[in-house]
Amino acid sequence: MGAVKLIGSYTSLFCTRVEWALKLKEVQYEYLEDDVFNKSPLLLKHNPVHKKVPVLVHDDKPIAESLVILQYIDETWKDNPLLPQDPHERATALFWAKFADEKCLVEAYTAAWTEGEEKEKAIKSAQESFAFLEKLIQGKKFFSGDDKIGYLDLAMGWIPLCIDVMEEVGGMKLVDAEKFPSLLEWAQNFIEIPLIKERLPPRDALSNYFSIIVSYTRAHKQSLFNSSTMVTRLSSIRKEDYRGGSLGLFLESSNQLLPSSNSIYNGRYNCLEYIKLWPFKVIVGPSDKPMIVVAYKGKEKQFAAVEISSMILIQIREIAKAYLGSTVKNVVVMVPAYFNHSQRQATKDAGVIASLNVMCIINELTTADIAYGFDKKATKFEKKNKKNISGNPRALRRLRTACERVKRTLSSTTQITIEIDSLFGGIDF
C-alpha cells in the first residue's frame, strides 16, 4: 500500500498516539525524529500550513494533525478497527477526542503556567472539563467500551502520559482519586498494555520539555503550547576583542536587540531552513560539514559548530578558574534531556578542543538534584515530619521537578523558595 513514514518527536504526546495506532494496526513504518524547537526542511515541506509534528507520509502523500491521522490510519488499514462502525458512536468518539484536546488539555496547560487567582480559576475550569471524561468512562474498562482499546483511548492517551508531569511542573493538583476514580483507573489499565508501555517517552524528557514551555510562557505571558514554535531556547555568543586580542565570548539573553552578523546562535539545531534568517553566513565546508562564517579583525573566519561549543566551554572554564582559584581540568557537562547520542558526543568533542576532560554528560534534571540539594531536601522532610519519602516515586518526582524549577528561576533571580503542596501524606513542604 506504499511506504509509510512518520515525522515526529519523542516528547510529543500527539506523535505518541499516532505511533500507538500504527503498532495496533501492525503497519510497518519509518520513524523520522524532528526537533520541535527548530523545524526541519522535511517537516516544513510536508506540513507548510501548521508546520508542526506529527506528519504521516503515506505513498509520498502527507497527512497532518494527529486526530486526523488516527482516522486516516483506521480507514486505510481495516484490520483491528479503532473507531466504532455505528455512525452515531463514531461521531461521538470524534467529538470527545476533540473535546479532550481543545478543552481538557489546553485548560490543564493553562493551569500549569498561570499563578494566583488566575491559576485557581484555570484549575477549576480544567476539573469541570475532566468531570465529563470521568462520567464518560464510568462502568467501562476502556473508552471503547470493549476489552480492547480504540480510537478514543488513543486520543485520551496523553492523560496518563502527561497529566502528573503537568501537575508537578505547575505545582498543582488536577486529577485526584477522590474526584476522578474511574478516569485514573482507566489510565492505569491503559499504560499497563504492553504495546502502550513500550512506546512511553522517558519521563525526565517529558518533564524537561514541559518545564521549558511553562517557564517560557510564564516569562512572556503568551501560551505557545501545541504550537510548532513552542519555544526557542535562544542563547547566542558574540565575538568581542577582549584582553590580549584573544577571542572572547559572552552569552546574550533572548530579549536583547537583534544580533549582529558576528552573533552566532541556535548553532546546535538543523540550519538549512534558517540560513536566510540568520545574520551570519553558513557555508559548506570540508566533507560537506556546515561552517559558520564571521568577520574578525577585518578577516573572514570559519568555524564548525563544535568549535563554537568549545569556545563556550573555554569561557566557562575561565570563569570557574577565577572563582575556584585553581585550574579546571575534569568536568561534568549538563545538557538538555532531549539531546541524542550524536549531540552528546559532539559536546564531548567540544570538551576535548577546550582542553577539558569531560568525565560525564548528565541531564538538566539530574543537575538540579545535585545543585539544589535534592537528597538533602528529602532528608530534611524526613527529619521534620518523621516520614520517609524515598519509597514514594510520585513524591520524589514532585520534589525533583521543584528543584528543576528552582534551577531555571535562579537563572534570572537571586533567590526562590521551594513550596510543594501535600508532598507526602498530606504534608506540605
**pLDDT tens for each residue of 376-404:** 666 777 778 878 877 777 777 777 777 76
CA dihedral 7, 13, 17, 20 (to 10 degrees): 80
pLDDT at 74: 97
Whether residue 158 sits in one domain with residue 270: no
Examine the pLDDT at 249 and tell me if it is beyond 70. Answer: no
Residue 379 lies in a domain: no
Residue 390 lies in a domain: no
How far is C-alpha 387 from the chain's CA centre?
A: 32
Residue 389 lies in a domain: no
The mean of the pLDDT values for the chain is 79
Residue 424 lies in a domain: no
Examine the pLDDT at 35 and tell me if it is beyond 80. Answer: no
Examine the pLDDT at 259 and tell me if it is beyond 60. Answer: no
Full 3-state SS string of 26-86:
CCCCEEEECCCCCCCHHHHHHCCCCCCCCEEEECCEEEECHHHHHHHHHHHCCCCCCCCCC
pLDDT at 267: 45
Residue 101 has what DSSP assignment?
A: I
Whether residue 166 sits in one domain with residue 89: yes
Distance CA 230, CA 232 (A): 7
pLDDT at 9: 85
Whether residue 257 sits in one domain with residue 150: no
Whether residue 70 sits in one domain with residue 128: yes
pLDDT at 422: 77
Segments forming the whole domain that contains residue 66 = 4-205
Whether residue 111 sits in one domain with residue 162: yes
Residue 216 lies in a domain: no
Whether residue 254 sits in one domain with residue 160: no
Mean pLDDT, residues 297-302 = 78
Whether residue 200 sits in one domain with residue 240: no
How many independent structural domains does the chain possess?
2
- Among 352, 367, 382, the domain boundary falls at 367
Residue 410 lies in a domain: no
Distance CA 308, CA 12 (A): 29
Distance CA 42, CA 47 (A): 9
Of 230, 205, 111, 101, nearest in space to 154 by CA: 101
Residues linked to residue 291 through DSSP beta bridges, in sequence order: 283, 304
Whether residue 241 sits in one domain with residue 200: no
- For residue 253, give the CATH number of its domain: 3.30.420.40
Residue 393 lies in a domain: no
Whether residue 339 sits in one domain with residue 201: no
- Among 182, 205, 228, the domain boundary falls at 205
* Cell numbers linked to 68: 486526523
- DSSP structure string for 204-226: HHHHHHHHHHHHHHHHHT---TT
Residue 185 lies in a domain: yes
- For residue 117, give the CATH number of its domain: 1.20.1050.10
Q: Which of 141-150, 226-235, 401-410 has the highest mean pLDDT?
A: 141-150
Whether residue 59 sits in one domain with residue 12: yes
The residue among 230 and 275 whose pLDDT is bigger is 275
- Among 312, 344, 367, the domain boundary falls at 367
**Whole-prediction pTM value?**
0.59
pLDDT at 159: 96
Whether residue 260 sits in one domain with residue 128: no
Distance CA 113, CA 109 (A): 7
Whether residue 46 sits in one domain with residue 112: yes
Contact (Cβ atoms closer than 8 angstroms) between residue 122 and residue 114: yes
Q: How confident is the model at residue 192 (pLDDT cuts 50, 70, 90)?
A: very high
